[in-house]
Amino acid sequence: MARQLEEQIVGRFPVGRRLRVLDVGMGRGAQALRLARAGHQVTGVEQDAAMISAAREALAGQPEGIRDRMRIIEGQAGDTGVHFLPGSFDVVLCHGELMYVEEPDALLAGVARMLAPSGLLSLLIRNGDAPAMRAGLSGDWAGALAGFCTAAYGLKRLTSTLAGIGAPLHTWYGVRVFTDSVADDAVLPSDLDTLLAVEDRAGRTDPYRGVASLLHLCGVRG
């Protein structure tokens, strides 16, 4: 996903431009910190105290210049309008938050308002078009059957929603096409670079990306 995001940033903004980045629901701050290291001014919003502590610990170990480019705000993902003016950011990340809110359309509209004209919106969401895949790949057949009846965000609905909030879909990728069933504590393989190359290729190639566990969608503010 980091490769995909970098591809979109490089293709949209002039080389060397320092971007204003908002990471809504930043978690431990991995993406936010990576962008701060790249020279961008990053603001992360997170409500989980443990995640904030982990992000601050990671940030504390960085050189002063990087620490100065990143700030962390404790708050809910839906409260961006409380903290920021509309159009305040060139790039807005919302990675995973839509999976855990009751009204994702409202959250999407709120984060899209934070984008400046021609700004980039990066979303990571569970793939509602393939909810049976994860259970099926792990041998959970009852779960796979239930997945066929699950109503969730799919590409078609997300495309319509993004158009409606003024940030039409520019491009999309699949994330975790082949590796979603791998345990979190699994030992990294010796050919990790090859694995990543395969996932990167599958995430941008039909029909593979359509059955990925997650979707990475990039919209652009009109």
Contacts of 44 (CB under 8 A, 6+ apart): 22, 23, 26, 29, 32, 55, 70, 71, 72, 73
**Helix 104-112, helix 155-164: angle, nearest 10:** 50
Q: Which residue has the tokens 């002063």?
A: 64
Asked whether residue 103 carries a pLDDT value surpassing 80, the answer given is no
Asked whether residue 137 carries a pLDDT value surpassing 90, the answer given is no
Summarize pLDDT for 87-101 with one digit per residue, the tens.
Answer: 999 999 999 998 888
Closest C-alpha to 93, from 167, 159, 204: 167
Asked whether residue 170 carries a pLDDT value surpassing 90, the answer given is yes
Asked whether residue 188 carries a pLDDT value surpassing 80, the answer given is yes
| β-strand pairing of 214-220 with 169-175 | antiparallel
Q: What is the mean predicted confidence (pLDDT) over 120-132? A: 94
102 to each of 46, 78, 114, 222, how far by Cα in Å? Answer: 17, 11, 21, 27
- Binning pLDDT at 50, 70 and 90, where does residue 181 land? confident
Query: Residue 218 in contact with residue 121, Cβ under 8 Å?
Result: yes
Alpha carbon distance 77, 58 (integer Å): 21
Q: pTM value?
A: 0.93
Least confident of 39-48, 62-71, 181-190: 181-190
| β-strand pairing of 169-175 with 70-74 | unpaired
Asked whether residue 84 carries a pLDDT value surpassing 80, the answer given is yes
Tokens (6 digits) for 164: 């409606």
Query: Residue 218 in contact with residue 120, Cβ under 8 Å?
Result: yes
